[in-house]
Amino acid sequence: MDEAPEGQEGVERRAEVFWDWAGAVAARIRQEQPMSAKALYPGTFDPPTNGHVDLIQRGAKLFEHLTVAILNNPVKNPLFTVEERVEMLKEVTGALPNVSVAMFDGMMVEFARMQGATAVLRGIRAISDYEHEFQMALMNRRLAPEIETVFLQPAGRYSFVSSRMVKEVFSFGGDVTGLVPPNVLRRLRGRMAKGQGLGSGV
């Protein structure tokens, strides 16, 4: 017999437990390694959104150094090449002296070790994100127990924004001004002007 679906109360309780755990991890890092830890912020960033930029700016205040790590995953059929995404992110983080941008493939925790990172920064937009992120955090802890996962919620005005949504809305002629940095918007418009599709990668 199939299990009964989890009620809203159960989902909210699990989310509450998750955020208590995430908050405890962040507090421990601030207490034990205030502004001395290096962190990695991994993702595909295809394209970078203002939600990404919000987390980068706030992460830069929490850590001595933050590396924005772009996953090279051609299986996802990305809209922008890794090189283009590196350029865009370098442009939007140029005013942050303790932020760098890099590309990686393979295991994220291995790249974090290579960078000397002791924390991984992840964003949680909604309750729907937390279960997958929680599972990944636990797996990463098993693979690299010395590296902590720190979760941040984006600013409320960006809580619904994802790279996939930006591409879908823009491909149908919708206005994404304010959802992506100006340099990213210019590149999106350039793709459309050249008649290039916006792909399906996240």
Residue 24 lies in a domain: yes
Catalytic, 163? Answer: yes
Residue 199 lies in a domain: no
Range of the domain at 23: 8-160
Residue 183 lies in a domain: no
Q: What is the CATH number of the domain that holds 119?
A: 3.40.50.620
pTM score, whole prediction: 0.79
CB 68 within 8 A of CB 98: no
Residue 185 lies in a domain: no
| Number of folded domains that form the chain | 1
How far is residue 156's CA from residue 109's CA, in Å, rounded to a whole number? Answer: 29
Given 14, 58, 76, 113, the catalytic residue: 76
Residue 181 lies in a domain: no
Residue 178 lies in a domain: no
How far is residue 126's CA from residue 160's CA, in Å, rounded to a whole number? Answer: 8
Catalytic, 36? Answer: no
- CB-based contacts of 125: which residues, under 8 Å, 6+ apart? 51, 153, 154, 158, 159, 160, 161, 162
Catalytic, 76? Answer: yes
Q: What is the pLDDT of residue 191?
A: 83
Taking the chain (202 residues) in consecutive chunks of 10 residues, what is each chunk's mean pLDDT? 54 59 57 71 96 96 96 85 96 96 95 96 82 89 95 89 93 93 95 63 40
Residue 103 lies in a domain: yes
